[in-house]
Amino acid sequence: MSAPVRFLLVAVAGWALFRGATAGMLPGVEAFAIEPAEAAPAPPVVPTEFPPISPPAVAAPGYAYADAAYYPNDPRYSAYPAYAPPMPRYVPVPIYYAAYAPIRSVSVPLPPP
């Protein structure tokens, strides 16, 4: 019997033994069983009560930035400029030439004179 077949046999037998023990089919396994516990009742949920929220106060007309957006047109608060594409990075690619080129000789048969 080969080692893989032996391993599969042991794995299937162990699985069947474990399933039999957990299902209660093996005698004497009751000693290892854990009794299910009863859950304690949850306390009742107490509704929370908050005072009503008052509306926010309106800014005074003379207040700075009351009529404008959040920030003025100040260069310190301007948006970031768009990113420029990076400069191309030129990398020299080595080119290897053969030290010699094999010469192919072609011989064409000439017709007889």
Predicted TM-score (pTM) of the model is 0.28
> One-letter amino acid identity for 85?
P
Mean pLDDT of 62-86: 65
Joined tokens for residue 49: 């009560």
Q: For 31-40, 57-66, 74-83, which range has the lowest pLDDT when averaged over its residues?
A: 57-66
Pick the residue with more confidence: 45 or 83?
45
pLDDT of residue 5: 94
Mean of the per-residue pLDDT values of the chain: 79
pLDDT of residue 59: 66
Say how far residue 81 (Cα) sits from the centre of its chain.
Answer: 31
Q: Say if residue 66's pLDDT is above 60.
A: no
